Structure 1
Amino acid sequence: MRRIEQELGGALFLRTRTGCRPTPLGRLVLSRARPLVAEMRSLVTEARSAATGGPRLRVGSTASRALAGWLRRLRGDGREPTLRMDVSANTLLRMVADGQLDVAFVHEVEGTPLHIPGELRLRVLMEREPQFVSLPADHPATAKTEVEVYDLAGDRWMIDPSVDGEWDGVRRMFRDAGVAPDVLHGDYHTAAALVAIGEAVTVCQPTALPRPDMAVRRLRGDPLGVRLLLAARADADLNGAFPALEEAYREAARNAPEYRKWLERDGAGGPPVPATAQPTAAVEPVVETQTPMSQPSLRHTATTAGRT
Structure 2
Amino acid sequence: MELEVRHLRILCAVADMGSMHKAARLLGVTQPSLSSQMRRIERSLGAELFYRVPTGCHPTPLGRSVLGRARPLLMQMSELVAETRAAAVQSAGARFRVGSTGSRVTTRWLRRIKQRLPDTETALVVDKSPSALVRMVASGHLDVALVHELEGMPLSIPQGLSHRVVVEREPQFVSLSRDHPAAAQSVIDLHDLAADRWVVDPMADGEWAALRQVLDTAGLRPAVVPGDPATAASLIAIGEAIASCQPTTSATDHIVVRPLRGDPLGVRLLLIAQPGVQEEVYSELDEAYRECAIESVTYRGWLSERRSPLLSGD
Asked if Structure 1 and Structure 2 have the same fold, meaning a TM-score greater than 0.5 normalized by the shorter chain, the answer is yes
Match of 1:65 among 88, 99, 104: 104
SS across alignment from 2:277? helix
Alignment of 1:287-298 (within 5 A): none
- Over the aligned positions, Cα root-mean-square deviation in angstroms equals 2.2
Separation in 2, partners of 1:152, 1:84: 34
Where in structure 2 are the equivalents of 1:134-153 lying within 5 Å? 134-153=175-194
Aligned to 1:122: 163
Q: Tell me, yes or no, if the aligned pair for 2:294 and 2:311 is still in contact at 8 Å.
A: no
Which residue of the other structure, out of 205, 212, 221, is the alignment partner of 1:171? Answer: 212
Q: What one-letter code is carried by the residue in structure 1 that aligns with 2:134?
A: L
Structure 2 Cα separation of the partners of residues 275 and 228 of structure 1: 19
**Deviation of the 1:73 alpha carbon:** 0.8
Partner of residue 255 from structure 1, selected from 283, 295, 310: 295
Alpha-carbon distance between aligned partners in 1 of 2:145 and 2:133, rounded to the nearest angstrom: 6
CA distance in 2, matches of 1:109, 1:165: 7
Distance (Å, rounded) in 2 between the aligned partners of 1:275 and 1:90:
32
Distance 2:106 2:279 in 1: 17
In the other structure, the counterpart of 1:76 is 115
Gaps of 5+ in 1: 1-40, 50-55, 278-308
Percent of aligned pairs sharing the same letter: 49
Determine the C-alpha separation between the residues in 2 that align with 1:179 and 1:242: 40
Q: CA deviation at 1:115?
A: 2.1
Deviations 1:148-205 (A, max 9, x none): 1111010011011221121111011101111001111111221011100011000010
Larger radius of gyration: 1
Q: Provide the secondary structure at the position in 1 that maps to 2:104.
A: coil
Contact 1:148–1:220 (Cα < 8 Å) also in 2: yes
8 Å CA contact 1:246, 1:274 repeated in 2 = no
Amino acid at match of 1:77: R
Matching residue's letter, 1:58: R
Which residue does the alignment assign to 1:242?
A: 282
Kindly indicate whether structure 1 or structure 2 has the higher relative contact order, using CA contacts under 8 Å at least 6 residues apart.
Answer: 1
Query: 1:247 is aligned with what amino acid?
Result: E
Cα distance in 1 between the residues matched to 2:222 and 2:210:
15
TM-score, length basis structure 1: 0.69
Can you give the 5+ residue segments of structure 2 that lack an aligned partner in the other structure?
A: 1-86
More helix by share: 2
CA distance in 2 between partners of 1:109 and 1:275 (Å): 27
Contact 1:231 1:238 in 2 (8 A): no
Q: Are residue 111 (structure 1) and residue 149 (structure 2) matched?
A: no
Flag the 1:238–1:87 CA change in 2: closer, same or farther, 3 A: farther
| More strand, by proportion | 1
Deviation at 1:228, TM superposition (A): 0.4
Q: Which amino acid aligns with 1:121?
A: S
